[in-house]
Amino acid sequence: MSRKDLKIELKKLATDIRTRRYWDGKNPSIEDLEKISPMYKLKFEARHKHIAYCLIRGRTYEQIERKTRTEPDWIYINKIKEIHTDPQEVFNHVENVCVSS
């Protein structure tokens, strides 16, 4: 899988989260309460895939998230990075950086 595949997954997650917004926080029904749990799962996945995507592109964690209440799951982020990092792309990037004039 490539970085582009990860970007596509991020867009799908964002669309799914936007379409599932349903609860205004005032008087939730039982159906609304049943939908909250999947929403948290989607947000968790979207946050971690976003962090992994930005790290792959060369950003630092401080540039991605400045203030957070919870620390991200770094093991999950590293797994995402392993899956979506093309070894040839990394080799080409290192080769381009190491070439001296």
**Angle between the N-to-C axes of helices 74-84 and 30-56, in degrees from 0 to 180, rounded to the nearest 10:** 60
Structural domain boundaries in the chain: 3-98
Question: Torsions phi, psi of 26, nearest 5?
Answer: -90, -65
> Per residue in 44-80, pLDDT tens?
889 999 999 999 999 999 999 988 888 999 999 999 9
What's the DSSP call for residue 69? S
pTM: 0.65
pLDDT > 80? residue 95:
no
Q: How far apart are CA 30 and CA 15, in angstroms?
A: 24
Residue 68's SS3 state is coil
Which residue type, as a one-letter code, is found at position 26?
A: K
55 close to 77: Cβ distance less than 8 angstroms: yes
